[in-house]
């Protein structure tokens, strides 16, 4: 049974918009107005705002405060000088240079907004101002280019030939900075420039120049011929004033002041798309566009910063009439259409040319048709597999539909997948496999009276639930089954594999093939397998797969395996097994796809039908050798940041060192993982997701810290950053210190020994002196004169008074006893000495009577407080008696008195004897040297004409 159907056409246009992510710059301040964007030589993206500059690392915007004189932080220009330092131009004419973490101001003679900053190779800084023309700063100072047609300069760029191109209100100015006279040439409408108001200039390395104008769109400028050319399809420009643009190969993104963004491709199909307020983009005024070197596009608009991977990924949401949601199956055909079916029906989308959508099967009887598979055969017929309603064959041009079901010989009415090659069409159903062979006769084919060969669960074909069918390059037909693994039909017979990997791969959903002829298939909950004809290799979460809920596999023309799963898309390079993941960052993190919702078009774009739209990602999206830029950001010692990366020598007690690093990957910063090691400690790489590595208690030595980053955990072409440093030995372990300490120690020892020797010598000397002294004293006491005199005195006393004589003898014996008693001591108390002196005085007084007098003027408390060498006073008095004549005519007066400075003054008058006693002088000499040894005070001996004065210090 068959029937005709006349289709109802519904044609509507469809616009697609890339995924734009809004990035919040300042969490505290939502009104930051981004004026300019810039990418530095390290790859960091900087935003110049009305509130200063921010550096973005993929996670945070680091606000770098400009300490300008008048608190103006309205940034109008960002650039780098020849030393790669950031230059910032401000709206008040200020220029700041950012170096080693600090801004320094470059004084300028103008106050108009700075629009461009260029330092040419000779070191001259060129500045375009908006209102005061062009200035340059050389060694001699600031100069202004005189006589420019207009003082309002929008932009200055340097052409590879060295000349400067400036856009003004009155045309394009070409200046040769090497010309001493600074002659310049002005191009305006008379020279073919479409519009005098040149607001933006683009110049690439090859010298290609494009101009963006206020009213006339863009044009190309040939510097050598001076010609201006406008692309054909942009001859009539109606998008308003251009503010900025970015160019990559043949694609332009043009920002305007009122009409959003114009995406213009002039090479292939010369497509022009707009993203504006009216078509869902939501913004009309664009301040700046930056294409960072990782291919992402940054847009500064109104109060927002937008980020998009650009062309690479696009989502088509349908239009007012048809919403591309709940897509069940998609397929591309040879004529350049995309077929898709969802709950609303079957559609054909002209994605190449008009963007129109045409609905098929509009007859109400198809309303509840559940199409789950679409296939275009070699003759251009569209085959549709349904749930419960069998198979349909559609002739797209006439809309003629033919239906096949069990009645027509089909094995089952649930057609899950269709595939074919040549005149053989294979059908995977919930009741086994059907093969339809199309007759060669075109007329017969048009009638569509096909016969089916059925394989209902025949031996070796696997289970009766067949989910997918794939025909490989060798012509083998592969089937994925529910419960019986994968089956292959080759040379008329089936072969089944279900017991590999402990039977984990029994449920197979999708099959594809790589350029080496290996078969890849996805399974329920166990990831994907690669089958090389002998072995099955599994790729699960540990191999890099992001999700196990896989809905489809496909290969692209470059040979990559595309895995569509719930969390997005994984791309596997079959030669290197490198993985790339695309998901959240392009807004496709919650994919809920049906089994047949993946297709490849002739331009190698991959299409995926999801619950929430139709996704296309282009062939150049797959960039396997692009890796994050790794940067060591900060080095901490005990969590205190060091002064940048210059400090590379640490003290032994600064040996807890942490490194903060970053893999710059704007596409998906969270996906970046790191490997690091510390050569000197261990050569083994440590894998981590942390952006900080810490090493506590590093022993002294030389180290090299290395870190690399990867967005897919594979580190196949990593960019390594490193940091060399040294931890010093503690001071007491350093050679120079040990040497110095040894020398100091030896000197100390020598000094000590010498000192000891000296002391010993002094003690020796003292002993000797003492002995000499004692000997002298004894000698003097046992002096026969003394005894003789004493005995004479005694005799006279005995005669006079015997009791007195006894007393005298007692005193004499006391005197000798005391002498013997004290002579060994170094010092004795003053009172003891005085007692001896008194005894002696008593003995002498008996002899001399009143002719000898002795007086003491000593405070009472001194007597027990101070000490002195024994017999010292005795010696002096003895000397006085010995050397002076004592008679009635010449009386001898001795006085012992205390002085203010703790010493005794012994004074006697001089009555020299006529025949002086023989004197050795040893007694006094000894006394002096004894005092010298015992105390630091000197014995002072003076002799005046009338007096003999000795001052002895008390000890």
Partner 1 sequence: MSINFHKCICLIIVCFFANFVFAQERYFIKQSELIFESDAPLEIIKASSTDLRGVIDPNSNTFGFKVATLSFKGFNSELQRSHFNENYLETEKYPEITFSGKIIENIDFNKPGIYSVRAKGMLNIKGIPKERIIRCNVEVKVNSIELKSNFDVSLDDHDIRIPRVVYQKIAPIINVTLKAVLQIQNSK
To partner 1, the closest distance from the beta carbon of 111 in angstroms equals 6
Q: In what order do the strands lie in the sheet with 649-650?
A: 649-650, 720-727, 701-710, 673-679, 682-688
Range 531-535 contact pairs with CB under 8 angstroms and sequence separation of 24 or more: 531/486, 531/497
CB of 725 to partner 1, least distance (A): 47
8 Å CB contact between 248 and 239: no
Q: Tell me the window of 126-134, 216-224, 354-362, 880-888 that interacts with partner 1 (CB under 8 A).
A: 126-134
Q: Min. distance of Cβ 304 from partner 1 in angstroms?
A: 14
Q: Pick from 16, 47, 49, 91: which binds partner 1 (CB under 8 A)?
A: 91
Q: Binder to partner 1 among 38, 44, 126, 130 (CB under 8 A)?
A: 130
Whether the CB-CB separation of 453 and 437 falls below 8 Å is answered with yes
User: Quick one: residue 462, left, alpha or beta (phi over 0 = left, psi -120 to 50 = alpha)?
Assistant: left
> For partner 1, which stretch binds (CB under 8 A), given 109-117, 459-467, 641-649, 847-855?
109-117
CB of 145 to partner 1, least distance (A): 18
Phi, psi of 853 (to 5 degrees): -135, 145
d(CA 221, CA 228): 5
Q: Could you say which of 113, 385, 485, 628 contacts partner 1 (CB under 8 A)?
A: 113
Quick check: 215 binds partner 1 (CB under 8 A)?
yes
| Beta carbon of residue 114, minimum distance to partner 1 (angstroms, whole number) | 10
**CB under 8 A: which stretch of 105-113, 248-256, 594-602, 882-890 binds partner 1?**
105-113
Query: Token pair 């794939």 is at which residue?
Result: 470
The 8 Å CB, 24+ separation contacts for 632-636 are: 632/659, 632/660, 632/661, 632/705, 632/707, 632/721, 632/722, 632/723, 633/57, 633/660, 633/661, 633/662, 634/659, 634/660, 635/659, 635/660, 635/723, 635/725, 636/660
CA dihedral 77, 78, 83, 85 (to 10 degrees): 120
Number of residues that bind partner 1 (CB under 8 A): 16
Listed ranges 110-118, 524-532, 540-548, 868-876: which one lies at the site for partner 1 (CB under 8 A)? 110-118
Pick the closest to residue 857 from 811, 911, 900, 910 (CA basis): 900
Task: Give whichever of 302 and 855 is closer to partner 1, judged by the CB atom.
Answer: 302
Should residue 49 be labelled a site residue for partner 1 when binding is judged by CB under 8 A? Answer: no
As measured in angstroms, the least distance from the Cβ of 194 to partner 1 is 13
Question: What x-and-dash track marks residues 627-666 binding partner 1 by CB under 8 A?
Answer: ----------------------------------------
Q: For partner 1, which is the closer residue by CB, 245 or 426?
A: 245
> What would the two tokens of residue 755 be?
């000192």
To the nearest whole angstrom, how small is the minimum distance from the Cβ of residue 80 to partner 1?
24
Among 670, 671, 659, 672, smallest CA distance to 722 is for: 659
Tell me whether strands 892-898 and 75-80 are parallel, antiparallel or unpaired. unpaired
Residue 236-275 contact track with partner 1, rule CB under 8 A, x = bound: -----x----------------------------------
| Closest to 157 (Cα-Cα) out of 181, 132, 134 | 134
153 or 435: CB nearest partner 1: 153
- In angstroms, rounded to a whole number, what is the distance separating the alpha carbons of residues 165 and 193? 14
Nearer to partner 1, 35 or 386 (CB): 35
Spatial contact of 597 and 685, defined as CB atoms under 8 Å apart: no
Under DSSP, is residue 879 helix (H, G, I), strand (E, B) or coil? Answer: helix
Classify the C-alpha dihedral 872-876-881-883 as positive or negative: positive
Q: Residue 392 and residue 395: Cα distance in Å, rounded?
A: 10
What is residue 574's DSSP assignment? T
- Which lies closer to partner 1 via its Cβ, residue 130 or residue 264? 130
> Can you tell me which of 22, 111, 379, 576 binds partner 1, judged by CB under 8 A?
111
Q: Which is nearer to partner 1, 91 or 714 (CB)?
A: 91
Choice between 76 and 790, CB closer to partner 1: 76
Choose one: 108-116, 487-495, 549-557, 701-709; the region binding partner 1 (CB under 8 A).
108-116
442-456 core/surface letters (b: 16 or more CB in 10 A; e: else): eeebeebebebebbe
Task: Using the rule CB under 8 A, give the single segment among 129-137, 425-433, 647-655, 742-750 that binds partner 1.
Answer: 129-137
Nearer Cβ to partner 1 (215/764): 215
Q: In the complex, what is the shortest distance from the CB of residue 413 to partner 1, in angstroms, rounded to a whole number?
A: 53
The smaller minimum CB distance to partner 1, of residues 303 and 654, is found at 303
* Residue among 35 and 627 whose Cβ is closer to partner 1: 35
Cβ nearer to partner 1, comparing 277 with 367: 277
- Quick check: 781 binds partner 1 (CB under 8 A)? no
Tell me: does residue 131 bind partner 1 (CB under 8 A). Answer: yes
Please tell me whether residue 498 binds partner 1 under the rule CB under 8 A: no
- With contact defined as beta carbons under 8 Å apart, do 639 and 679 qualify? no
Cβ proximity to partner 1: between 155 and 624 the closer is 155
Would you say 197 or 794 has its CB closer to partner 1? Answer: 197
CB of 196: closest distance to partner 1 in angstroms? 6
The smaller minimum CB distance to partner 1, of residues 31 and 688, is found at 31
Per CB under 8 A, 214 contacts partner 1:
yes
**Residue placing its CB nearer to partner 1 in the complex, 111 or 321:** 111
Scan residues 315-354 and list those touching partner 1 (CB under 8 A).
none
173 vs 158: CA distance, rounded Å: 12
Alpha-carbon span 80 to 854, nearest angstrom: 105
Instruction: Find the shortest distance in angstroms from Cβ 132 to partner 1.
Output: 8
Please write down the long-range contacts of 145-152, taking CB distance under 8 Å and 24 or more positions apart.
Answer: 145/175, 145/182, 145/184, 148/173, 148/184, 149/173, 149/186, 149/188, 151/112
Q: How many CA atoms lie within 13 A of 39 on its CB side?
A: 17
Of residues 171 through 200, those in contact with partner 1 by CB under 8 A are: 196-197
Handedness of CA 798, 799, 802, 807 (dihedral sign): negative
- Among the listed ranges 107-115, 315-323, 491-499, 941-949, the one in contact with partner 1 (CB under 8 A) is 107-115
| CB closer to partner 1, 186 vs 561 | 186
**Those residues with Cβ within 8 angstroms of residue 95's Cβ, 6 or more apart along the chain or in another chain:** 87, 88, 89, 105, 106, 108, 114, 117, 127
Sheet architecture: strand order including 261-265: 242-248, 251-256, 261-265, 272-275
Examine residue 287 and tell whether it contacts partner 1 (CB under 8 A): no
Choose, by CB under 8 A, the member of 16, 39, 49, 92 that binds partner 1. 92
> Is residue 169 a contact point for partner 1 (CB under 8 A)?
yes
* Binding span for partner 1 by CB under 8 A among 124-132, 724-732, 743-751, 877-885: 124-132
Q: What CA–CA distance (Å, rounded) separates 744 from 438?
A: 106
Nearest to 527 by CA among 495, 496, 553: 553
Nearer to partner 1, 215 or 490 (CB): 215
Should residue 465 be labelled a site residue for partner 1 when binding is judged by CB under 8 A? Answer: no
Stretch near partner 1 under the rule CB under 8 A, chosen from 127-135, 594-602, 719-727, 780-788: 127-135
The residues in 804-863 that bind partner 1, with binding defined as CB under 8 A, are: none
Chain contacts with partner 1 (rule: CB under 8 A): 76, 91-92, 111-113, 130-132, 169-170, 196-197, 214-215, 241
């Amino acid at each position: 049974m068959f029937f005709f159907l006349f289709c109802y056409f519904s044609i509507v246009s469809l616009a697609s918009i890339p995924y734009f992510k809004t990035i919040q710059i300042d969490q505290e301040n939502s009104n930051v107005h981004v004026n300019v964007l810039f990418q530095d030589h390290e790859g960091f993206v900087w935003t110049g705002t009305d509130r200063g500059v921010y550096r973005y690392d993929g996670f945070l915007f680091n606000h770098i405060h400009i300490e300008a004189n008048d608190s103006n932080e309205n940034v109008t220009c960002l650039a780098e000088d020849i030393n790669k330092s950031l230059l910032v131009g401000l709206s008040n004419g200020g220029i700041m240079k950012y170096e080693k973490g600090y801004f320094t101001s470059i004084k300028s003679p103008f106050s108009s907004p700075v629009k461009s900053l260029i330092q040419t190779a000779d070191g001259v800084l060129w500045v375009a101002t908006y209102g005061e023309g062009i200035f340059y700063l050389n060694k001699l100072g600031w100069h202004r280019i005189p006589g420019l047609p207009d003082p309002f300069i929008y932009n200055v760029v340097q052409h590879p030939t060295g000349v400067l191109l400036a856009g003004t209100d009155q045309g394009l100015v070409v200046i040769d900075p090497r010309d001493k006279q600074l002659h310049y040439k002005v191009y305006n409408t008379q020279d073919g420039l479409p519009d005098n108001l040149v607001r933006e200039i683009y110049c690439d390395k090859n010298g290609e120049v494009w101009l963006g104008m206020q009213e006339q769109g863009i044009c190309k400028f040939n510097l050598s011929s001076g010609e201006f050319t406008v692309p054909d399809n942009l001859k009539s420009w109606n998008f308003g004033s251009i503010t900025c643009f970015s160019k990559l190969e043949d694609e332009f993104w043009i920002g305007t002041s009122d009409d959003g963004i114009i995406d213009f491709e002039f090479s292939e199909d010369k497509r022009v798309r707009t993203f504006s307020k009216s078509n869902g983009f939501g913004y009309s005024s664009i301040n700046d566009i930056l294409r960072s070197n990782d291919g992402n596009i940054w847009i500064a608009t109104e109060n927002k910063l937008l980020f998009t991977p650009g062309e690479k990924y696009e989502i088509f949401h349908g239009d007012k009439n048809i919403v591309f949601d709940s897509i069940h199956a998609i397929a591309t055909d040879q004529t350049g259409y995309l077929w898709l079916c969802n709950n609303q029906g079957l559609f054909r989308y002209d994605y190449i040319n008009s963007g129109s959508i045409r609905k098929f099967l509009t007859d109400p009887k198809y309303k509840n048709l559940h199409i789950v598979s679409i296939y275009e055969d070699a003759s251009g017929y569209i085959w549709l597999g349904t749930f419960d309603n069998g198979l349909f064959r559609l002739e797209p041009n006439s809309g003629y539909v033919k239906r096949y079901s069990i009645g027509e010989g089909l094995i089952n009415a649930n057609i899950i997948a269709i595939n074919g090659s040549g005149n053989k069409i294979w059908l995977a159903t919930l009741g086994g496999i059907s093969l339809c062979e199309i007759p060669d006769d075109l007329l017969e084919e048009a009638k569509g009276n096909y016969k089916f060969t059925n394989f209902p669960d025949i031996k070796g074909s696997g289970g009766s639930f067949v989910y997918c069918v794939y025909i490989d390059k060798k012509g083998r037909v592969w089937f994925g089954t529910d419960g019986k693994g994968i089956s292959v039909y080759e040379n008329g017979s089936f072969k089944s594999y279900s017991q590999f990997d402990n039977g984990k791969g029994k449920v197979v959903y999708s099959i594809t093939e790589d350029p080496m002829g290996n078969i890849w298939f996805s399974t329920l909950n166990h990831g994907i397998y690669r089958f090389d004809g002998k072995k099955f290799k599994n790729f699960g979460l540990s191999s890099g797969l992001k999700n196990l809920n896989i809905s489809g596999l496909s290969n692209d023309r470059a040979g990559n395996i595309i895995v569509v799963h719930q969390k997005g898309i994984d791309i596997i390079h079959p030669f290197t097994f490198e993985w790339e993941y695309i998901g959240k960052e392009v807004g496709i993190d919650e994919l809920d796809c049906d089994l047949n919702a993946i297709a490849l078009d002739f331009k190698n774009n991959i299409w995926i039908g999801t619950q929430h739209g139709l996704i296309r990602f282009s062939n150049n999206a797959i960039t396997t050798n692009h890796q994050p830029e790794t940067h060591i950001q900060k080095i901490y010692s005990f969590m205190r940041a060091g002064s940048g990366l210059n400090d590379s020598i640490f003290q032994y007690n600064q040996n807890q060192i942490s490194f903060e690093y970053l893999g710059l990957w704007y596409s998906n910063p969270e996906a970046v993982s790191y490997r690091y090691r510390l050569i000197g400690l261990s050569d083994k790489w440590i894998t981590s997701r942390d952006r900080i590595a810490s090493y506590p208690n590093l022993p002294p030595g030389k180290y090299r810290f290395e870190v690399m980053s990867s967005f897919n955990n594979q580190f196949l072409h990593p960019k390594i950053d490193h940091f060399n440093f040294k931890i010093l030995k503690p001071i007491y372990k350093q050679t120079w210190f040990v040497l110095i300490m040894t020398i100091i120690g030896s000197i100390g020892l020598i000094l000590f020994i010498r000192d000891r020797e000296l002391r010993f010598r002094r003690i020796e000397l003292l002993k000797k002196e003492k002995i000499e002294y004692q000997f002298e004293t004894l000698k003097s006491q046992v002096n026969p004169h003394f005894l003789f005199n004493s005995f004479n005195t005694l005799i006279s006393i005995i005669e006079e008074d015997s009791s007195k004589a006894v007393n005298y003898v007692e005193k004499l014996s006391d005197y000798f006893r005391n002498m013997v008693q004290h002579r060994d001591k170094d010092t004795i108390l003053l009172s003891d000495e005085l007692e001896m002196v008194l005894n002696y005085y008593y003995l002498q007084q008996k002899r001399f009577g009143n002719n000898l007098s002795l007086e003491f003027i000593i405070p009472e408390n001194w007597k027990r407080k101070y000490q002195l060498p024994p017999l010292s006073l005795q010696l002096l008095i003895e000397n006085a008696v010995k050397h002076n004549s004592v008679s009635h005519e010449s009386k001898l007066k001795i006085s012992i008195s205390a002085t203010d400075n703790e010493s005794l003054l012994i004074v006697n008058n001089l009555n020299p004897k006529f025949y002086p006693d023989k004197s050795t002088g040893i007694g006094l000499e000894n006394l002096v040297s004894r005092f010298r040894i015992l105390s630091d005070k000197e014995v002072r001996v003076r002799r005046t004409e009338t007096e003999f004065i000795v001052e002895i210090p008390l000890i």
